[in-house]
Amino acid sequence: MRLQLGYVPLTDAAAVIAMVEGGFAAREGLSVDLVAEPSWATLRDKLALGLLDGAHLLAPLALASHIGLSGPPARLIAPAALARNGNAVTVSLPLWEAMAPASDALPDVARALAALAETRFAAGRPLCFATVHPFSSHTYQLGRLLALGGGRLDLLRLVVVPPPRTVESLRRGLIDGFCVGAPWSSVAVAAGVGRVAALGVAIAPGCPEKVLALPAEMADRAAPLLRALKAAARWCGTPEHWPDLARLLGARRHLDVDPDLILRGLRGELLVAPGGHLRQAPDYLVLGEEALTPAPDAVAWMLEEMAAAGQPVDAAQAERAAGFLRPDLLAACD
């Protein structure tokens, strides 16, 4: 069986990339072409229109597509998650200086950001933050961070920037900050243009992130793909393999990023500010087979966050959402 799978260049695409590059798909008799896209919207559309057979996709966006809230009509299933955590809110160095939080602790950072956002909004110069898509855990985590400090998401001017373009947008002053997945916050810090303000794992630990999204009609023939994904995830989750995984992901054909930055993220040793300021966060990004099974409350969490972000779901859409996660297909591959 020949398949085309799409992905966005991020560390949490590891299992999909390793599945192909490591030969796990071939051992299951699959011939898989990897298709890199900079934009989640492009992946959503190509999957909905039948131009892809599956994709590494934002869980909330895949759900929104499935229930008819975003993009062309599509019937999708998500038999597997691809990682847990991995996001970070990163701000420009001038913004961090203006925030002047009392400490690096999450409540202090949240209060400082919310206060500055309120001041700038009142002055008619709202802070501009990028997330990767309105239907994303990134948007919801940014909203939760502001709420923790007594602020609101609508105090910001939100724009969508594809993950690989966030660092350059910050460098050019087009945005004041962003919430994005690994390794792009680390890239911004290493480039001397950003400072990690908060980790997604601290804001909403274990929330639905990326999934393997498939057309619903793939359900009865997904077993070889899911067996290959499981094998690749086991390999990716083994610390002894992380240097090789970092080199694979860092290659020009994939993320085109210094493997050392990727490896730091895998180890949870994050450079959060220029000058070597490290933060130990072992749960920053969790790969491996244990991360493949979606949380039982994942759909409920996403529906609640959609409503909080002004993306209301009606009763019919909520009913349709119940069939989106298919961990039974993954379990059947044991």
Q: What is the pLDDT of residues 219-270, one digit of tens each?
A: 999 999 999 999 999 999 999 999 999 999 999 999 999 999 999 999 999 8
Please report, for residues 58, 75, 88, 95, 96, the alpha-carbon distance to residue 118 in angstroms, rounded to integers and kept in the order given: 29, 40, 21, 14, 15
Q: Return d(Cα 130, Cα 166) in angstroms, integer.
A: 8
**Total-model pTM:** 0.96
Q: Quick one: 231 and 255 in the same domain?
A: yes
Domain boundary among 155, 184, 206: 206
Note the pLDDT of residue 334.
Answer: 74
Q: In 3D, which of 240, 256, 223 has the Cα closest to residue 332? A: 223
Same domain, 149 and 173: yes
Residues 80, 18 share a domain: yes
20, 57: one domain: yes
One domain for residues 66 and 213: yes
Shared-domain flag, residues 142 and 221: no
Q: Among 156, 187, 206, which residue terminates a domain?
A: 206
Residue 249's domain comprises 2-84+208-274+282-331
Residue 298: CA count within 13 A, CB half-sphere? 31
pLDDT the model gives residue 333:
86
Same-domain pairing of 291 and 221:
yes
Q: What is the pLDDT of residue 89?
A: 98
Helix (H), strand (E) counts: the chain = 16, 14
Domain limit, last residue, from 206, 230, 251: 206
Tell me how many domains the chain contains: 2
- Angle between helix axes 259-267 and 242-250 (nearest 10 degrees) is 140
Q: Which of 222, 214, 219, 224 is nearest to 26 (CA)?
A: 224
* Same domain (yes/no): 158, 77: no
Same domain as 124, residue 202: yes
pLDDT along the chain (334 residues), means of 10: 96 98 97 96 96 98 97 96 96 98 97 98 98 97 98 97 96 98 96 97 96 97 97 98 98 97 94 85 94 94 94 93 95 87
Q: Residues 223, 313: one domain?
A: yes
Tell me the Cα Rg of the chain. 19
Q: Tell me which DSSP letter residue 73 carries.
A: -
Are the C-beta atoms of 56 and 5 separated by less than 8 Å? yes
Q: Tell whether 121 and 192 lie within a shared domain.
A: yes
| Angular region, 77: left φ>0, alpha ψ -120 to 50, beta rest | beta
The contacts of residue 104 (CB under 8 Å, 6+ apart) are 272, 279
CB 83 within 8 A of CB 208: no
Q: What is the CATH number of the domain that holds 32?
A: 3.40.190.10
**Is the domain of 143 the same as that of 217?**
no
The residues facing 160 across adjacent strands are 131
